[in-house]
A and B are shown apart, each in its own frame.
Chain A
Amino acid sequence: MIGRIWAIALNTFREAARIRVLYGILVLVLASNLIAVFVAELSHRDADRFARDIGLAGISLFGSLTAIFLGVFLLYTEVQRRTIHAIVCKPISRWEFVVGKFAGMAVVLSVLVGLFAVAMLGMLVWQRTGVSAGVAKALVLSWLEVITVAAIAIFFSSFSTPFLSGIFALGMWVIGRLTPDLEAATRAAAPWIRITTRVALEIVPDVHLFAVSGRTLDGTAVSVHGDFVPWSYVALAAGHGVGWTVALLALAALLFHRRDFA
């Protein structure tokens, strides 16, 4: 089983590594890090603070968008190009294929997030700022966010076109990110609006858990520049991400299992 999943993952990694857009995104993130530092220098602001904010935002934004971009094509292209015909006739289960595709994409995204992180840490070192535990935790949370968003995208890719999958996945990510704001905004609204919002938010992964810097948790302000969340929070958020990822992959596998490849 592991060998078959690994074979698909390795092939997916090879395929993704050939997508030139990824290299463009990488350059964009590196450039945004550099620009952030220069702008901070010119405006006499706290340059290392600026580098941390821009670096983490870049990882979250570009990492999640890349996850959506890669994920929505992942299964759809296999079916559309019929490359799957020569694969699923072999002794591999369809769920193993879905998990293998996801694993390959997760490796690609992890490499990408790793490179983004190296760029950000490079900027911090250049600013002669140490890398705090808060930054390390924020990086782990960003990576978890990207992986969870990838699972959302692959779920939609198992039954929908890339365009629709992209819209759905983007919508879920944005709603998941804005959950606390949407809850606050509807607190004084009519009961049916509150209930509808609650239901909608329940079926969306709480990706806001992965971007906590600048928010207040249990009455305490958390910031990557100062007091950040403990590792126990990171573990809890990881549990949430893993739970959603497993559930979404299981659903994707179930939908994929029922499909005809005509």
Chain B
Amino acid sequence: MALSWGCLVDLAIDVHDLRKTYRTPFARKKVEALRGVTFRVERGHIFGFVGPNGAGKTTMIRVLMGLIRPTGGSAMLLGHPLGSRAARFQIGFLPESPYFYDYLTVGELCDLAGRLFGMPRAARTRRADELIDKVGLGGARGLNLKKFSKGMLQRAGLAQALMNDPELVVLDEPMSGLDPIGRKEVRDLILELRDHGKTVLFSTHILSDVEAITDRVAIIARGELQAYGTPAELVSQRLQGVDVVVRLPAAAPDGDAGLAGGASRVRRVGDELSLTLPADADVDAWIARAHAAGARVLQVAPRHETLEDLFVRRVAPPPAPPAPGDASAGEVAPP
């Protein structure tokens, strides 16, 4: 991996201290959408950009795509400075909630994209046909985009983004509006792009997608990078607790049959009780207690931190200071 500005060939994206500040037109109030974001994406990697609504994901992507000018900082795309035409020749972009010319068909949309990349007519036609089939819109060739559902528009957007066989593919919320099958297809497409040596940066809210396919993740909130690394590096490998599922005896009364003391995530469905014991709990003793109560242990599994846990931990706003006179003031929340 290249680590210096002088050796950028291995990096697809190199973002350094990128900032964007908006000013409201009349009040001249400053809104800091990006506050010095720095990250790198290696070539051939899948990079996930996650964050809550309004975190700055889309602003970052729009800055990289030349739609918004940064207030400060710098970025290199495929070794070229931000906004350079040479970089844009090698980039494919799917905007968030894409809006296209709704009087075009998906073929015409791809053709327009191909023309802007200077592709010859035969190459445009061949590539458009291939991509339309790949994104599953073969049956909708004759329809105007006006008649497309949100998911179909998303697929059309993917097709036009890939017309130039880009080295770097930037997808802003590519799973948005897709059903589970569509989401899986997009995930597979992203993996296929990586298999062909392409670099993919995508933003999403769906953490399971990030965990499943990304090589590196950046979590952004309030315009700042909160975490950055591989999913394995980011989540704590320390044991967080032990998930246990037991079947209670038929005669057991409602509730946890006295087994949930000190546990969290307690849930009972029918005669099945699931809960999470603290990491330092004596699991053997607890199991013995469950057996004594007539319960049958169905599952015992160690619980490690997930990306979702990390996301909630890093992104959740800090708790508001207690109001004066609040009865709970000074109390410490249990860990």
Residues on A lying within 8 angstroms of B by beta carbon are 3-4, 6-7, 11, 14-15, 18, 81-83, 85-93, 258, 260-262
Task: List, in ascending order, chain A residues with CB within 8 A of B91's CB.
Answer: 89
**Judging by beta carbons under 8 Å apart, are A4 and B115 in contact?**
yes
- Whether B93 and A86, one on each chain, are in contact in the complex, defined by CB atoms closer than 8 angstroms, is yes
On whether A262 and B62 interact (CB within 8 A), knowing A11-B101, A14-B103, A91-B117, the answer reads yes
Q: Are A86 and B88 in contact (CB under 8 A)?
A: no
Shortest Cβ-Cβ A-B pairs, 6 listed: A7-B115, A85-B95, A89-B65, A261-B67, A90-B116, A91-B88
A-B contact pairs, 18 of them (CB 8 A): A4-B115, A6-B115, A11-B104, A15-B103, A81-B99, A85-B99, A86-B95, A86-B160, A86-B161, A89-B65, A89-B66, A90-B113, A91-B85, A260-B68, A261-B62, A261-B67, A262-B22, A262-B62
CA distance A4 to B118 in the complex (A): 7
A82 → chain B closest CB, angstroms: 4
- Measured between beta carbons, the chain B residues less than 8 angstroms from A91 are 85, 88-89, 116-118
A83 near B67 with CB under 8 A, answer: no
- Are A87 and B99 in contact (CB-based, < 8 A)? no
**B residues less than 8 Å from A14 (CB atoms):** 101, 103-104
Contact B118 A89 (CB under 8 A): no
Q: A83, B100: Cβ atoms under 8 Å?
A: yes
A83-B65 contact given A89-B93, A90-B113, CB 8 Å threshold: no
Decide if B117 touches A90 in the complex (CB within 8 Å).
Answer: yes
> Are A83's CB and B99's CB within 8 A?
yes
Q: Is the CB of A7 within 8 A of B116?
A: yes
Least distance between A217 CB and chain B CB atoms (Å): 46
A93 vs B66: C-alpha distance when bound (angstroms) = 11
Interface string of B140-162 (1 = CB under 8 A from A): 00000000000000000100110
- In the assembled complex, the Cα of A82 lies from the Cα of B65 at a distance in Å of 14
Q: Is the CB of B67 within 8 A of A88?
A: yes
Find chain A residues with CB under 8 A from B116 CB.
4, 7, 87, 90-92
Decide if B69 is an interface residue (CB 8 Å cutoff). Answer: yes
**Contact of A88 with B99 in the complex, beta carbons under 8 Å:** no
A86 / chain B contacts, CB cutoff of 8 Å: 93-95, 98-100, 113, 157, 160-161
Indicate if B112 sits at the interface (CB-CB under 8 A). Answer: yes
- Residues from chain A with a CB closer than 8 A to the CB of B89 are 91
Q: Closest residue of chain A to B161, judged by CB?
A: A86
Q: How far is the CB of B117 from the nearest CB of chain A, in Å?
A: 6
Q: A4-B118, A15-B103 are in contact. Are A260 and B93 (CB under 8 A)?
A: no
Cα–Cα distance between A81 and B102 once the two chains are bound (Å)? 11
Enumerate chain A residues within 8 angstroms of B98, measured Cβ to Cβ.
Answer: 85-86
Residue of B nearest to A1 (CB): B118
| Bitwise interface map of B from 77 to 115 toward A, beta carbon under 8 Å scored 1, else 0 | 000000001001101011100111101100000001101
CB pair B95 A82 closer than 8 Å: yes
Contact A15 B67 (CB under 8 A): no
* Contact of B99 with A82 in the complex, beta carbons under 8 Å: yes
Q: Give 1 or 0 for each of B26-69: 1 = CB within 8 Å of chain A CB.
A: 00000000000000000000000000000000010010011111
Partner of B101, one of A6, A15, A260: A15
A95: min CB distance to chain B, Å: 13
CB distance from B174 to the nearest CB of A (A): 13
Contact indicator per residue, chain B 107-132, by CB within 8 Å of chain A (1) or not (0): 00000110111100000000000000
When distances are taken between beta carbons in the complex, the residues of chain B under 8 Å from A7 are: 112, 115-116
Of B85, B98, B112, most A-chain CB atoms within 10 Å: B112
List the A residue with the shortest CB-CB distance to B64.
A89
Assess A262 versus B68: contact at CB under 8 Å? Given A86-B160, A92-B116.
yes
A133 → chain B, closest Cβ, in Å? 41
* Cβ distance B51 to chain A, nearest Cβ, rounded Å: 17
Q: Which residues 157-208 in B have Cβ within 8 Å of A in the complex?
A: 157, 160-161
Contacts A86-B95, A261-B68 supplied; 17 other A-B pairs, CB < 8 Å: A4-B116, A15-B101, A15-B103, A82-B95, A83-B101, A85-B65, A85-B67, A86-B100, A88-B66, A90-B88, A91-B88, A91-B89, A91-B118, A92-B116, A93-B85, A260-B67, A262-B59
Interface residues of B in 201-248 (CB under 8 A from A): none
A7 to B85, CA, bound (A): 17
CA separation between A4 and B85, bound complex, in Å? 13
A138 to B303 Cα, complex, angstroms: 84
Shortest distance from the beta carbon of A68 to any chain B beta carbon, whole Å = 22
Docked pose: A2 CA to B66 CA in angstroms:
22
Residues of B within 8 A of A85 (CB): 62, 65, 67, 93, 95, 98-99
Nearest chain-A residue to B172 (Cβ)?
Answer: A85
A206 to chain B, nearest CB (A): 34
Q: Give every chain B residue within 8 A of A88 (Cβ-Cβ).
A: 66-67
How far does the alpha carbon of A18 sit from the alpha carbon of B25 in the complex, in Å?
Answer: 35
List chain A residues, Cβ under 8 A from B65: 85, 89
A11 touches B99 (CB 8 A): no
A219 → chain B closest CB, angstroms: 52
For residues 283 through 334 of chain B, which have their beta carbon under 8 Å from a beta carbon of chain A?
none
Nearest-neighbour CB distance to chain B for A1, whole angstroms, equals 9
The CA of A15 and the CA of B116, in the complex, are separated in Å by 17
Q: Tell me which of A18, A82, A89 contacts B88 (CB under 8 A).
A: A89
The CA-CA distance from A11 to B113 in the complex, in Å, is 11
